[in-house]
Amino acid sequence: MTDRLTGNVYQSNTITLNTAPVLAFDHVTHDTGGDTYWLKLTNGSIYNNQMFVASPNLPPCGLNTSSSRTWLDIYQTSDNAYIYGFCSFSSSSDLSSFWFFVPTNGSKPANVYITLTDRLLNTIYTSNSVAIP
């Protein structure tokens, strides 16, 4: 900040904001075909809704030519294997409830983490790993 009257320049301290997604296991639902594991970000509200606007100027997600600017992907922690992803969230409130499915004969991962990929800014935010009970 510059005092225009005296010409003195003042500089504030620097702070670092934690923008890493904080992932939490929420619950599991059982169906005849398998189990759905529900997750959430406990700090999803720190992400601006602009990160999730439809972005037809960016590459499509399959046939969706207006997918969101930021995509969420779920990975198995042990080997970084891709599990599932979401490419059409419309606001940060969508980060409060998302899921992946494991068929009855499938094996659930012991731990998972997510990434948020802001395709416009070419920035990837990686969460902590959580155990899947």
* CA–CA distance, 118 with 96 (Å, rounded to integer): 18
pTM: 0.86
Render pLDDT for 19-64 as a digit per residue (tens, 0 to 9): 899 999 999 999 999 999 999 999 999 999 999 999 999 999 999 9
pLDDT bucket at 112, cuts 50 / 70 / 90: very high
Q: How many CB atoms lie within 10 A of CB 105?
A: 7
What's the half-sphere exposure (Cβ side, CA atoms, 13 Å) at 106? 13
pLDDT bucket at 3, cuts 50 / 70 / 90: low
DSSP 21-41: --EEEEEEEEETTEEEEEEEE
Domains and CATH numbers, the chain: 23-131 (2.60.40)
Strand partners, 124: 117
